[in-house]
Structure 1
C-alpha cells in the first residue's frame, strides 16, 4: 500500500461510514437519505451559501493548522479556543483605538492577534517544558480564564462600546478593513482566505521541507533520540506551542476584519475545538486539512436546508461526530493492514533469496 493510499484512504472510509450511519438513521426515522443529500448539495447554489462555505472553510483551515502544529510535536493544544478568542478581542480593541493608514492598520491588527495568541500559549508552553505539566490541563484552564478576561475587556468599564442592545469593542475604521472579493448577490469572499492559503503553504514548507520541521517531528516522535542527535526537546516544545498560539491568533480575524469590524459578546465560538477534528481528519497534512475544513463548512452551511424538507438538521452533527470517531479507527485499521502487507512482502523476498541457497546445498 502506497503512502498516498494510507493518507487518503482513512478519511475517505470515515466519511463513507458516517454517511452510511446517517442514512440508516434517516431511514429508521422515516426520512429519505437521497432527498436529504440532494437538498444539501443543491443548497450550495442558493444565495451566498457557496461563498459562506469558502469563508467558513478558511476559518476552519487556520484552526486546523494551529492544532496540527502542536500535533506534529505530539502536543495536544486544546487551548486554541481560548487563544483565538482572546487574540481576536485584543486585536479588535487595538484596531479600533489606533488611527493608522490603510494596509499598515491591517498589518498591525494581524500582528497583534498573532502576538496575543502566542503569549496566551506561552504559559502552558513553559509549564510543559520546565515542569512537565500536561498542556491539556493547563490550556483547558486558560480557556476558562480567557472567557472571563474577554468579558471584562468588552465591558463598559474597560473598552466596551455600547450600540443599542449590543456591546462590542470600538469599531474598526475603514482603513483597518481587510478587502475581499465582492461577488454581488453571491456574497463577498474574505480577503483572509488568501492569508489562510499562504499559511498552508508556509506550514507545508516549514514542517515538510526544512531541517527545523524534521527536528520538530523527530522531537515529537522520540524526545530521547532527538536529544541524542543534538536537538533540544525542551526548546522544540516551546517553539511548537508558540507557533500554534500565533496561528490560533489569526482564527477570529477573518470575521473581525471582513464582516463585523469589531468583537462582540456574541462572536462565534468553538472554532478551536472544530480545528482538532479537522486536523485529525486531514492527518496534519495541509492539503488534507483543507479538504476537511471545506467538508466541515459544507456540512455546517448546507444543513440549514434540511429544515425545508422536514429533516432535522441535527443529523449533520451526528455525521460530524461519527467522522471524528471513525477517522481514528480507520487510521489504525489502515496502518495495521499496511504493516501486515509489508511483513508479507519482506517474508516473500526472504523466501526468494533462500530458495537458490537451498537448491545449491541439495546438489
Structure 2
C-alpha cells in the first residue's frame, strides 16, 4: 500500500518509457491498419507500399542513377550538336516541310555514324580484318584512362575532406619531372629502377600538393587559389627545365628529355609491342583498391571523412584537423604524381612540355562524376578514356568536330553539379522522399 506522504503516486508505464535497471516497456503489437515500414496500410488512408515499390523508390532516388542519366542527357545534346554541324542536315533542313524524311534520315545517319565511329574507336573495331586490330581501340581506352583514374582518385580523396584541389595539373607535371629524371639519369636493375621512378613521381606530386596543404593548415590560405597558382608555376618550371642540359635531348627538334630506358625504368607492356597498354593500368586498379581501403576501412580515412563533414565536431572529438588537411593533400598529390608517371614511364616514355595534357582538369570531372567514390571514379575514368579514344576516329571518319566531345564532358559536369535538374527532367523522387499519398507524422496527428 502506498504512503501518500512519503511517496508520490506512480503513473502507469507507457510504451517506450524507461523503467528501473534500464529496462524498457515493450511497445504493443501494431494494430490492424497501422502504417509501418514494409508496406502495410495506414489508418490515414494512404495506399500501402510493398517491398517492391520501396525497392524501386530507393533505386530511382539513388545518386548513381543521376550520374547515368547525366551521361544520357549529355550524349543526347551531343547528338543534337553533331546533327546541327553536319552540312547535309543543314541542306535538308531548307526543305524540311516539303520532304521531312530527307531531314530526319540525314539526322539519323549523321548521329548514328558519329557514335558508331566513337564505338569503333573506343571499344571494338568490327570493321578490322584481325581480332588484334579489333581490340586495339579497347586497349587505347584503357591507356587514356590510366592518368584520369589516378588523378581522379587523388582529387576524390581531397573532396572527401572538403578540400577542392584544383592543382592536379601541376602535380602531374611534378610527378612527370621526378619520375622521368630518375628514369633517364640512373642505371639500376629492372624492378628497382621502375619502382624508384614511380615512387619518385608520387613524391613529386606529394611535395607540390603538400605546399598547398601546409599553407591551408598554417595560414588558412584558400587551397583553390594556391593550387591554381602552383599549376602555373609547374608549367613554367617544366618549360625551363627542358632548356637545361640535364633535361634536354641533343638534336631534338622540340623540347624533350632523354628517353626513359624501356628495359629497366618503363612500365612493362601488358600485351606485347603491338599495343600501348602498360602496367600503369594495373597500378590504377591497385590505387582504386587502396583508396577504398583508406577511406572506408582505415583510421586515417575516418578522420578525413570526419574533418570533411564537420571540422568543428572533428576537433571536439580530438582530431587534429590541420594534420588531416596536410596529410590529405599529400595523399592526393601522390596519386596525381603517379598519373604523371603513367605518362613518362608508360605512354610517352619521355618528359615533354605537354606531359600533363589536360588530364589534370579532366580529372576534376572524373572525380565529380564518380561522386568521389573509388569505384565510381574508376568507372568515370574509363568513360572519359573512351571519349578520348573514340573522339579521334569520330573526327577522322565523319568530320565531326572534336570539340563536341568537350561539350559532352562539360554538360556531364553541369548536370552532376545540379542533381535536382536531372531529377526534374526525368521526374525522379528526391532521396528520402516519402511515397505519394503518405502523410507526415504531424499531418497524422492533425488528422487524428
**TM-score (norm. length: structure 1):** 0.90
Within 5 Å, which residues of 2 pair with 1:77-92? 77-92=165-180
Q: Structure 2 residue aligned with 1:338, among 413, 430, 439?
A: 430
Gaps of 5+ in 2: 1-56, 90-106, 126-132
Using CA pairs under 8 Å that are at least 6 residues apart, name the structure with larger relative contact order, 1 or 2: 1
Would you tell me which structure has more helix in proportion to its own residues?
1
Report the Cα distance in structure 2 between the residues aligned to 1:328 and 1:192, rounded to whole angstroms: 30
Report the Cα distance in structure 1 between the residues aligned to 2:256 and 2:272, rounded to whole angstroms: 28
Q: Deviations over 1:267-310 (max 9, x none)?
A: 34211111000000010111111221111111111112223123
Q: Structure 2 residue aligned with 1:273, among 346, 357, 361?
A: 361
Q: What is the deviation of 1:311?
A: 2.4
Q: Structure 1 residue aligned with 2:69, among 1, 9, 13?
A: 13
Instruction: Look up the match of 2:409.
Output: 320
The more displaced of 168-177 and 212-221 is: 168-177
> For 1:166, what is the secondary structure of its paired residue?
coil
Are residues 1:59 and 2:151 paired?
A: no
- Contact 1:52–1:301 at 8 Å: present in 2 too? yes
Q: What is the deviation of 1:130?
A: 1.2
Gaps of 5+ in 1: 359-363
Are residues 1:236 and 2:328 paired?
A: no
Q: What is the deviation of 1:220?
A: 0.8
Instruction: Look up the match of 2:124.
Output: 45
Q: Deviations over 1:2-55 (max 9, x none)?
A: 389523111111111111212222333425212211221123323432211011
Q: Deviations over 1:152-198 (max 9, x none)?
A: 2222344322243133223323211221212564x132101001100
Q: Structure 1 residue aligned with 2:111, among 33, 41, 45?
A: 33
- Contact 1:94–1:109 at 8 Å: present in 2 too? yes
The more displaced of 249-258 and 53-62 is: 249-258
Instruction: Look up the match of 2:78.
Output: 22
Report the Cα distance in structure 1 between the residues aligned to 2:77 and 2:145, rounded to whole angstroms: 24
The more displaced of 163-172 and 136-145 is: 163-172
Instruction: Look up the match of 1:361.
Output: none
The more displaced of 112-121 and 330-339 is: 330-339
Instruction: Look up the match of 1:299.
Output: 387
Q: What is the deviation of 1:215?
A: 1.7
Within 5 Å, which residues of 2 pair with 1:121-160? 121-160=209-248
Count of aligned residue pairs for this structure pair = 355
- Contact 1:13–1:327 at 8 Å: present in 2 too? no
Instruction: Look up the match of 2:343.
Output: 255
Within 5 Å, which residues of 2 pair with 1:94-105? 94-105=182-193
Q: Kindly tell me: are residues 258 and 28 of structure 1, through their superposed partners in 2, closer, same or farther at Cα, counting changes over 3 Å?
A: closer
- Which protein has the larger Cα radius of gyration, Structure 1 or Structure 2? 2
Report the Cα distance in structure 2 between the residues aligned to 1:289 and 1:37, rounded to whole angstroms: 23
- Contact 2:165–2:227 at 8 Å: present in 1 too? yes
Q: Kindly tell me: are residues 222 and 169 of structure 1, through their superposed partners in 2, closer, same or farther at Cα, counting changes over 3 Å?
A: same
Q: What is the deviation of 1:331?
A: 6.1
Q: Kindly tell me: are residues 229 and 19 of structure 1, through their superposed partners in 2, closer, same or farther at Cα, counting changes over 3 Å?
A: same
Instruction: Look up the match of 1:178.
Output: 267
Q: Deviations over 1:107-155 (max 9, x none)?
A: 1101111111111112211111111110011111111111122122222
Instruction: Look up the match of 2:376.
Output: 288
> For 2:433, what is the secondary structure of its paired residue?
helix
> For 1:338, what is the secondary structure of its paired residue?
coil
Q: Kindly tell me: are residues 260 and 313 of structure 1, through their superposed partners in 2, closer, same or farther at Cα, counting changes over 3 Å?
A: closer
Q: What is the deviation of 1:90?
A: 2.1
**TM-score (norm. length: structure 2):** 0.73
Q: Kindly tell me: are residues 229 and 278 of structure 1, through their superposed partners in 2, closer, same or farther at Cα, counting changes over 3 Å?
A: same
Instruction: Look up the match of 1:202.
Output: 290
Q: What is the deviation of 1:266?
A: 4.0
- Contact 2:62–2:431 at 8 Å: present in 1 too? no
